[in-house]
Amino acid sequence: MDVILLPQNRYTWMLLAFQGGFINVGGLLCVHVFVSHVTGYAAHLALTVYDHQYLHGIYFLTVPMFFLLGSVFSGAMSERRAIQNKPPVYIHILLFLSLSFAGLSVVGTWGFFGMFGKPLHDFHGYTLLCILAFACGSQNALFTNYSNSIIRTTHLTGLTTDLGIGLAKYFIGKKQSEKKINRIRIELICTFILGSIVGAYLFPAFEFYAFLIPCAISLTVGWGLFVSRKKLQLQQASHNFSRSQK
């Protein structure tokens, strides 16, 4: 818990929440569908079935599965290290996310996904949705698992619920330990909204090139966490060596 609350890690969570809001708006402006959570897909599925658009219904039925697969992918990589009694490593998954966003930018600019802003209507738009959903599932699971469900960076539903419970614990239950956690939750909500606002300006201006922003954020966060982990390992090794010399 103390590691999660460290100031340098709080900026990491905020960057990722910014990225979550940015990607969500990007998916909406690209193909008119939110992508960083799965809540709305049930409503989309119901409406497409009602309108007898069964192919679109299949799209909306299967896209959440890619969010789930992304979560499984991230969770599996973390769990493998936990079984081996090793600390989690983030650089691999975040590098994968960075490459995914870079690929979306390139192939989108080449015209693979069709005209920017055109509503979902074919397999190409469906492919974009699946990649974004997988990426968001991976990002969300990675840090939700690590923080025991305190840090959620791709949607606001669970985060807002957690904040409500935390505020009740702080003001009514007088649990002072909730103060710092609630502050982080508020910061995540604010930066998610900020990311959404920035995305609303940048995607219409730069279209698929705007995916280079989450590409850079994922790479920066991954590298920063990798360097921090190496420094911690060196400090621990130095400490152990000093103790052995006494």
pLDDT above 70: residue 2 = no
pLDDT above 90: residue 114 = no
The model carries a pTM of: 0.89
Instruction: Compute φ and ψ for 147, nearest 5 degrees.
Output: -95, 10
How many other β-carbons are positioned within 10 Å of the β-carbon of residue 96? Answer: 19
Q: Which residue has the higher pLDDT, 202 or 243?
A: 202
Structural domains present in the chain? 7-234 (1.20.1250)
**Mean pLDDT, rounded, for 104-128:** 89
Per the structure block, which two tokens stand in for 69?
A: 């697969």
Mean pLDDT for the chain overall: 86
What pLDDT, on the 0 to 100 scale, is given for residue 125? 86
Distance, CA of 55 to CA of 37 (rounded, Å):
21
Q: Which of 32, 57, 199 is nearest to 116 (CA)?
A: 32
The predicted-structure confidence for 172-192, as pLDDT tens digits, reads as follows: 998 888 888 899 999 999 999
pLDDT above 70: residue 4 = no
Contact 195, 18 (CB under 8 A): yes
The predicted-structure confidence for 120-137, as pLDDT tens digits, reads as follows: 778 888 899 999 999 999
Q: Which residue has the higher pLDDT, 79 or 72?
A: 72
pLDDT above 70: residue 29 = yes
**Helical segments of 32-53, H only:** 41-50
Per the structure block, which two tokens stand in for 135?
A: 């990426």
How many other β-carbons are positioned within 10 Å of the β-carbon of residue 82? Answer: 12
